[in-house]
Amino acid sequence: MNLKVKTISNIGGEVKAPPSKSYSHRAVILASLADGTSKIHDMLFSQDVLSSINACRALGANITKKDDYLEVIGTNGKLHNSSEVPIDLGNSGTTLRLMTSIASLADNEVILTGDDSLQTRPMEILTESLASLGVCAASINGNGKAPILIKPGYVGGETSILGNVSSQFISSILISAPLSENGVDLFVLPEFKSRPYVNMTCDIMAKFGVKIENEFFVRHEDCDRESKNCRIDEFKIPKQEYKSCDYVVEGDYSSASYLLAAVAIYGGNAKILNLFKNSKQGDKLILNILKKMGAKIEIFDDYVEISSEGNLKGIDVDLSNAPDLLITVAILAALADGTTNITGVKHARVKETDRIATTCSELKKLGCKLKEFEDGMSIEGGIRSGTVDSHKDHRLAMAFSLVGLKHDIEIKNGEVFDVSFPNFIEAMSEIGVELELI
């Protein structure tokens, strides 16, 4: 189906940001590993998160959706795979990466798989790092990608992993480490990208009763040649148990970026609720980006107010710690005056799509002048109406719909927004943007 803007009224008002996808994944997984019953409030029930819920159920957690919370009766780390077929994770790369380590805690074999897109996601860096911890996880097709067969056994010990590919690999080891036989000492080699996502993991692990020690040191022989970054992070996770708790999922800055960007592009005033001032989410960077581009931003304890005249200017921005903002910022750049230079997102090439390549190719269809680089792009403001393809990437579909605030546009395969933001159309309507699927 195609997604397009139907009508636009006065942009603004008040809308609640959807719950964080990253925290929702982690909350249901940790609750499933915990001893006792947890209640998760304000849970996001997107396609990706449902994949995590289904995987946790298959491994023994008792999960029930109540009227206003998700009840999770945990396994106390004693997992058993009840699925007679490979566990299908759909398109959720987060679930695949987080659950690969966790699946080794089961007392029988687990096979994790997904759709065609998920089976293109690289996994070797994680499986090789896990091998040092006594975990046997291997690609069934021998290409380093899903389907992944995970055998029982997680001894623990010491391992290292590259920090410049996916923070989810690091989070996967951290989450599973307390339930290994001997605990884990994990070294993250430079350059450490998307660090805020790992900070989020450590934050929610603490809420479920697990302590992590994080230290760093400098070793010049391990310098990243491009960045000259020689910092090595060390995470010490002794053997522990997760404890059940009541947990409230905070609002998602990634999803809220589309609401905020809509106001910034068209002009207006809005209040976005459920965005926490002290959030550890790296995508909170969107507030600074919009401010630099010309919008007025006011940050309160649990909401954000934005106002704009609709006149944005190009900026230079490093998205190394907020790669999920790439496509949103690219659209903002294409609709701004001047040139915007986006850097630091080489790791965005291994998301649902190669997001640098797909974003550039679709912007070119709209007459955008740009230059593509290995780790980003340079965009000159100015585009026209047209039709683009989402490549079945939820973030591309939502971000390109913002073009419709200034120009006519249709996004093919535009229905994929429900991967992370099921009520995207309803939320946009609350601020005056009527979208439709045709």
Annotated active-site residue 48? The verdict is no
3-state DSSP assignment of residue 267: coil
**Which residue of the set 88, 324, 389, 393 is catalytic?**
324
Amino acid, res. 13: G
- Cα dihedral: 342, 344, 350, 353 (round 10): -10
Can you count the helices (H) and strands (E) in the chain?
12, 24
> Residue 115 is encoded by which pair of tokens?
């759709």
β-pair type (148-150, 110-113): antiparallel
The CA–CA distances, whole Å, from 92 to 61, 271, 298 equal 19, 30, 34
Residues composing the chain: 438
Cβ atoms of 409 and 387 closer than 8 Å: yes
What is the CA 9 to chain-centroid distance, rounded? Answer: 31
Cβ atoms of 38 and 1 closer than 8 Å: no
Contacts of 68 (CB under 8 A, 6+ apart): 41
Amino acid, res. 364: K
What is the CA 135 to chain-centroid distance, rounded? Answer: 25
Task: Evaluate the CA torsion angle 399, 402, 407, 412 in order and state its sign.
Answer: positive
Cβ atoms of 350 and 169 closer than 8 Å: no
Sheet order of strands, 268-273 included: 12-16, 268-273, 303-308, 296-299
> Is residue 295 packed enough to be buried (19+ CB in 10 Å), middle (13-18) or exposed (0-12)?
buried
Query: What is the distance between the alpha carbons of residues 16 and 28, in angstroms, rounded to a whole number?
Result: 22
Query: What is the distance between the alpha carbons of residues 366 and 383, in angstroms, rounded to a whole number?
Result: 5
> Residue 427 is encoded by which pair of tokens?
């939320």
3-state DSSP assignment of residue 167: helix
**Residues belonging to the active site:** 324
